[in-house]
Structure 1
Amino acid sequence: MDANTSAPPLDAKRMGTFEFSRTIADLPAPKGLPLVGSLLKLSGRQFHLTLADWIREFGPVFRLDVMGHQLMVLSEPAAVEGLLRDRPDGFRRTSNLKTSMGELKIAGVITAEGDDWRKQRRLVMGGLNAEVVRNFFPTMVVITERVLLRWKTAVAEGRRIDLHRDLKAMALDVIVAIAMGQDIDAVNDDGNQVQRDIDNIFQRLGARNATLLPYWRHFKLPVDRAADKSADDIEQAVIGFVKDARERMAQQPQLRQKPGNMLEAMIAASENPESGFTDQELISNAIMSVIGGEDTTANSMAWMINLLAQNPEAAATLAAEVDAVLGDAPVAREWEWLKQLPYLEAAHSETQRLRAVAPFMGFASNADCVVADTFVPKDTVIFVANTGASQDEAHFPQHELFRPERWIFDGKPSREEDPSRKVFPFGAGPRLCPGRFLALTEIKMVLAMLVRNFELVPDLDAPPVEQLLNFFVGPSAVPVRLKLRAR
């Protein structure tokens, strides 16, 4: 295992079969407090911004001293890519994160490691691959038209639109439909319980990750009990979806050979004794798909709408592209149309550069190794800033500006010029996000519908939008009003 980015210098050190020029103790570090070091700064809903400040001050590789332990922070693009590609064999998720997620019944492929992960990955990927998403496209058109009607009606009646809430509801409708085969219509159900439960779980997970002492393992506050109830309620809802799917498959045996959604595929696999896929893994991955498929996609769209509203020239360019592809259609009704929106894809990539919903991840090394020419002992915690290069002028000139054009090239860019080699919003390597294709399809559908039918008008009286870290990073609000476009 070696995630080096270059050959070691001539004065390299050696330890066993490893060659390197420095140890973690040789790295620069922010000044900490006696005994606890930087511990107190590793909490709060702004930790990702603190991490970004440290990267600007100390560079792409530095250390944190925490309670006598040395942690590594890594943001150099080639080294980050190397580490991500060396999972799950070389690196694993930190045990604290896995435990915190498990306490709220978030498990499945997202927390599995080693052979257990490989087994579950095959099943989840089979339920979210390009062919499945393409077959699901007509349903996504219906859900998108449902949102369009809701927004048009609200504009006509002069009612305020809570864009962030509606985006979350649509993302929930999409993932429940493609993964569970159920239409819950959360978009038009302002009090949808599943959506409230998911929001509650992520708020509590974020709060727990920002809390230094895990008090809830000894006594629980009302918010902890509420989060536990939300986790139980989602589990019961998913168990109900599983029951419905099994009854449907009993009536339609052909679904075992040709499943219609991810849940049916996992049920068919779990019924094969050779798969080793248990009922608990089935339920865990079903829960994971519902919870994980809502927040990330909705926050990505919310950030993109905020940035487009603040950059009217980019919004106009995007609208012109969408108009040319969709013609008179209010939404993208043909699958092939989505392939003809390069500026929309570029705007999404630029949004992820500036406002990544998962700006960092925590890992631990499975064995002694060398990362970025630094010797890393076994079980060392490494914070990977997978968008660390996004604020670096050397990689992205005028990095503070929203410029989708920086992602568009006449031909294939060189490795050095390719921005996709510098930021990794969906990860990289074997553990690349299994839902990325679905997320990108949904984002294209919604943003194309939005700019085809509405103008984005910033609410100038609204307070500045904050970046809030729960488990993912989302905007504090989407202070944007919609105005029907003149045809």
Structure 2
Amino acid sequence: MFCLPKTAWPPTPHTLERERGVIQEQLALVPPALMRRVTALFPYWHYFTLPEDRRLARAMAEVHSYIRKMIERTRERMHESPDAPPRNLLEAMLAARNGPDSTVTDEQISANVLTLLVAGEDTTANAIAWALMYVAADDRLQQRLFEQSRAAFGEAGICPDYDALKHLDLCEAVCNEALRLRPVAAIQTFEPLSDVQIGGVAIPAGTRMLFLTRPAMLDPLNFAHPERFDPDRWRHPRAQSEGAHELKAYLTFGAGPRVCPGRYLAAVEMRLVLSMMSRHFEIELAIDPAKIEEVSAFTMVPNTMPVRLKPRG
């Protein structure tokens, strides 16, 4: 049995090789703590700390130590092969740091690594989990995903190259539709930098505002039959004659200048995982779907998601 747990998959390279490590154990404390602080009426932690705040502080100290070691190991590896092109995002950032007249700082690199660890892959993993819930419940959809993946892969076991991604539009549509109904970033926060008025309401600078992303995506004015899981709405939106398909209302990754910078990377990762699983396995939920609950821990995650994977012949 394959199980997608509440904390999803480890959010950093090679942590799957470590059964219990600093990333899995310590980063698991971060999203719930962020959720508590985002929704807190008063920033009490500036004045006193509770046991959970002290646990978070110890966890963050270990995470920052781990990040420093990761950066140093990467620097050493790059020093040994100075002419090799960057092989991952961290190497690319360090290469930019070493460039002439660079304005990139070590602090910025560390902050970006932390962002990737906290919000980079955990969100994507949970998005895949929600997608699998819908895929497992629809045999016909699974067959379509299998056929598309088989055609795109050819003789390869996984997606062979970037161009093949263009032929995995159904995989992308499934992920888009799953995130419309189950947005991982269900709550977003904003603070105006200056006094503003929105809809005639005066909002002073620094006011904490919470924004729910799902209501707009479940509004029939924006999406036809919004309660229905229909991935094909994303494949031929202009040809739909049943009603609305308002892309501006698709707020899973936010919008405007603060839109998620990793949305395209996430889309690629989700297509790769879903296509690989559909190509090689039949997917079946190992739990009553009614028992799968949404848990708001900064990201919206399933409380449990056990599935059975049956290898295809």
Normalising to structure 1: TM-score of the pair? 0.57
Structure 1: gaps (5+ residues): 1-159, 174-183
Say whether the 8 Å CA contact 2:283–2:307 is kept in structure 1: yes
* 1:166 Cα offset (Å): 9.6
Residues 430 and 241 (structure 1 numbering): CA distance in 2 closer, same or farther, change over 3 Å? same
1:172 partner letter: T
- Residues 7-49 of structure 1: CA deviation (Å, up to 9, x unaligned): xxxxxxxxxxxxxxxxxxxxxxxxxxxxxxxxxxxxxxxxxxx
1:230 corresponds to which letter in structure 2? Answer: A
| 1:433 paired residue number | 260
Aligned residues: 311
Q: How well do the aligned residues superpose, as a CA RMSD in angstroms?
A: 2.9
Task: Select 2:231's aligned residue among 372, 381, 404.
Answer: 404
1:189 to 2:18 alignment: yes
Q: Distance in 1 between matches of 2:183 and 2:139?
A: 21
Higher-Rg structure is 1
Matched, 1:475 2:302: yes
2:306 is the counterpart of 1:465? no
Q: Return closer, same or farther for 1:377/1:461 CA change in 2, 3 Å cut-off.
A: closer
State the one-letter code of the partner of 1:393: P
For residues 203-242 of structure 1, the aligned pairs below 5 Å read: 203-242=32-71
- Contact 1:467 1:475 (8 Å CA) reproduced: yes
TM-superposed CA distance for 1:462, in Å, is 7.0
Q: 1:268 to 1:450 in 2, by over 3 A?
A: closer
**Alpha-carbon distance in 2 for matches of 1:439, 1:308:** 18
Q: Which residue of 2 aligns with 1:391?
A: 218
Q: What amino acid is the match of 1:187?
A: L
Would the alpha carbon gap of residues 211 and 342 (structure 1) be closer, same or farther in structure 2, given more than 3 Å must change?
same
Matches within 5 A, 1:31-430: 160-164=1-5, 168-169=9-10, 171-173=11-13, 184=14, 186-254=15-83, 258-271=85-98, 274-369=101-196, 371=198, 373-374=199-200, 376-379=202-205, 380-409=207-236, 417-430=244-257
Structure 2: tracts of 5 or more residues without a match: none
* Residue aligning to 1:443: 270
1:358 Cα deviation (Å)?
0.8
- Structure 2 Cα separation of the partners of residues 210 and 411 of structure 1: 39
* Seq. identity, %: 31
Flag the 1:221–1:376 CA change in 2: closer, same or farther, 3 A. Answer: closer
Q: 1:190 to 1:462 in 2, by over 3 A?
A: farther
Q: 2:120, 2:286 → 1: CA distance?
A: 29
**Cα distance change on mapping 1:453 and 1:400 into 2, 3 Å:** same
TM-score (normalizing by structure 2):
0.86
Structure-2 separation of matches of 1:410 and 1:287: 37
Distance 1:318 1:167, change over 3 A: farther
